[in-house]
Structure 1
Amino acid sequence: MKMTVYYHDILYNGSNTANATAAAATNPTALSTAGSSNGTAYFFGELVVFDDLVTAGQALSSEPVARAQGFYVYDKKETLNAWFAFSLVFNSTAYKGTLNLMGADLHEETRDISVVGGTGDFFMARGVATLRTDSIEDIYYFRLKIDIKLYDSRASKVQQEWLLEGFYFYDRKELYNAWFAFSLVFNSTAHRVTINLMGADLMNEKTRDLSVVGGTGDFFMARGVATVSTDSFEGLYYFRLKMLIKLYECYIIRSCSKLDLTTLAASILIILLLGLAGGAHGGRKTRLVSSYDDEPCMKMTVYYHDILYNGSNNTANATAAAATNPTALSTAITSNGTFFGMLVVFDDVVTAEQALSSEPVARAQGFYFYDKKEELNAWFAFSLVFNSMAHKGTLNLMGADLISEETRDFSVVGGTGDFFMARGVATISTDSFEGFFYFRLKMVIKLYECYV
């Protein structure tokens, strides 16, 4: 499936409340001007929440086809660069449902972000959206041309019912509406470890669907849909959601003898599906699917270095900055503080070896925030941006960073370029922690869906 649409972002300028469809929720940090010799600001750390109009034609007055609901955050100090996560919400005679997109919006003529899931007419869709800046009128309006190509979707429905770490934010000015990205963290005798979900919560509808875009542990690389309904609402400070989670892609990681699948193992170990991708992404591609976590179709180990702005003298070296302050819950349990609510935007270097001075292989662009009041714990969403002789493209990752555990897993929910529509798991371990302003993560990335 292929479609072309136009995305219109009208930023609030302090006086245009009637027309504005986007607003900055945070101010730029000190790193905004750190990378410029002439004082030009690149808005590093500014997070913009939007409910933008999407049209069939270029003109803002042309036929509306969807709303784009989500956020972008500026994440480089040397140039304008943003990281997006949003849902295209369709509600017309042509289409009903959502497409969920995420990825790095690079300072290039065209750039790709991942379509990581969908609902309704786009049920469990996956693919790539190619962005091009079609118009920019000062800092308060821009238009993107978006070419969407879907290579994987499902139409059947199988039901499995279940009676969180992450965030939601309100993104409409006319009515209550939110955008969610979070992990369900299971740690019981029945299930371990996480399911990752994202999507638009259209609160005025009785039921609405979020995309299940990945999982770890017993839910390894799971995909599906979570149908949400408001079960109770008691004023501003408490609500309860009923979530009907339906998983349509599940990897069963057990021995073949226990499942009595010995004769079938060879045929399911690698599934080749031809011709799912083509055109602008290098012609016909073969989809390689690995069925067991010790046999990925691609594996790499890299090191992620986070250098946090310290508020005074490290603007030249810092690659991350806090866009929000910790909330009162940060010290609710411990006087030392767990930074609950602090959101950090980063453009961190990723290297082949442990040393910060070793060969750079990528940049990690996105954000994390602290989300537990009892202990240090974070939630990440970011892109690994590769631009070298070895690899060109992006990998999009999200998930709960359970800092107290020796190792923890993020979901790889999509990719572009050399990692076109890749999926898998990134196993994280803290390799170094030097005070509050520097840490290094070892990342073992295993991809189980690769297009070659």
Structure 2
Amino acid sequence: MGKVVGPVLKLFFVVLFMSSSVHSSSNIEEKRESDHRFQKLLCSKQKLTRLHFYFHDIVSGQAQTTVMVVSPAKTVKPSPTWFGQVNMFDNPLTKGPELTSKLLGHAQGLYGYASQVDISLLVAMTFIITNGRHDGSSFTVLGRNTVTDSTRELPIVGGTGKFRLARGFATAKTYFFNDTVAIVEYNIVVIHY
């Protein structure tokens, strides 16, 4: 039995060594290609893009685009600011304020009611453009949105496609609000490569 185990172990270690060296050379090639693309991107000229659209946050009804995924904790006195509630959404972005206006993309993400003092949201969302010259590209916003302020500013923290290495800001202004829907006008200023 000992005569068989020795050669089998040698063969096992040879195969293991060969597969790890092939795997590691494959990783090295992928890393080189990734580094090359990144260097090429950094050597290209930065672009500034301005976008404008309307965000439709529909919280009830047949066309609902937002759902509550975490309800506020049960307390003796309910919070007037909905503190602790978290909603997930997939909201249409349109050219005009009407929902029937031309669809430009979607905003997907979540917002949580993060303040015990005022109605402020912690927002994490990605704007996905599905129309026009930026079709298939996206950028991500992460920040505080005090919805009772007339204009809010949120930072852009990254992007994909034509918005790689994106940074900039989004200003939000409530266009219309009732128990069913909030329509928010967004002006975007994004720097990208």
What CA deviation, in whole Å up to 9, does each residue of 1:383-428 have, x standing for no partner? 1111223322111111000122111111111111121221100011
Matched letter for residue 450 of structure 1: H
1:450 paired to 2:186: no
* Match in the other structure for 1:301: 52
Amino acid at match of 1:387: T
What letter matches 1:386 in structure 2?
A: I
Is structure 2 residue 141 aligned with structure 1 residue 397? yes
- Pick one of 138, 141, 151 that aligns with 1:407: 151
Q: Secondary structure at the match of 1:277?
A: helix
The whole-number CA distance in structure 1 between the counterparts of 2:176 and 2:185 is: 9
The CA distance in 2 between the partners of 1:418 and 1:384, in whole Å, is: 13
RMSD across aligned positions (CA): 2.6
Structure with bigger RCO (C-alpha 8 Å, 6+ apart): 2
Letter in 1 for 2:174: T
Residue in 2 aligned with 1:323? 69
Q: Percent identity?
A: 25
Q: Normalized against structure 1, the TM-score is what?
A: 0.33
- Corresponding letter in the other structure for 2:65: T
1:416 equivalent in structure 2: 160
User: Structure 2: how far apart are the matches of 1:343 and 1:149?
Assistant: 37
Partner of 1:286 in structure 2?
A: 44
Secondary structure, in 3 states, of the residue corresponding to 2:138? strand
Q: Name the amino acid aligned to 1:304.
A: F
The residue that corresponds to 2:181 in the other structure is: 438
8 Å CA contact 1:304, 1:441 repeated in 2: yes
In the superposition, the TM-score normalised over structure 2's length comes to 0.74
What does residue range 173-212 of structure 1 map to in structure 2 within 5 Å?
none
1:348 is paired with a residue whose SS is: strand
What is the distance in 1 between the residues matched to 2:166 and 2:132? Answer: 19
Contact kept? 1:276, 1:287, Cα under 8 Å: no
Q: Deviations over 1:200-253 (max 9, x none)?
A: xxxxxxxxxxxxxxxxxxxxxxxxxxxxxxxxxxxxxxxxxxxxxxxxxxxxxx
Greater Rg by CA: 2
Residue 375 and residue 150 in structure 1: after superposition, are their counterparts in 2 closer, same or farther (change >3 A)? farther
Partner amino acid, structure 2, of 1:411: P
Corresponding position of 2:12 = none
1:365 and 2:101 matched: no
Structure (1 or 2) with the greater strand fraction: 1
Aligned structure 1 segments of 4 or more residues deviating by more than 4 angstroms: 148-151, 329-333
Give the residue type in structure 1 aligned to 2:133. A
Structure 2 unaligned blocks of 5 or more: 1-32
Partner in structure 2 of residue 352 of structure 1: 95
CA distance in 1, matches of 2:109, 2:168: 19
CA contact (8 A) 2:103 2:131 kept: no
**In the TM superposition, what whole-angstrom CA distance separates every residue of 1:138-163 from its partner, at most 9, and x where no partner exists?**
xxxxxxxxxx9469xxxxxxxxxxxx
- 2:19 aligned residue: none
Change (3 A) 1:434 1:149: farther
The alignment covers a number of residue pairs equal to: 160
Task: Note closer, same or farther for the CA distance 1:324–1:421 as it changes in structure 2 (3 Å cut).
Answer: same
Q: Shift of residue 276 of structure 1?
A: 3.2
Partner of 1:426: 170
Q: Which runs of 5+ in 1 are unaligned?
A: 1-147, 152-274, 279-283, 290-296
- 1:338–1:360 CA distance, 2 compared to 1 (3 A): same
Q: Partners of 1:339 and 1:374 in 2: how far apart?
A: 10
- Counterpart of 2:40 in structure 1 is 277
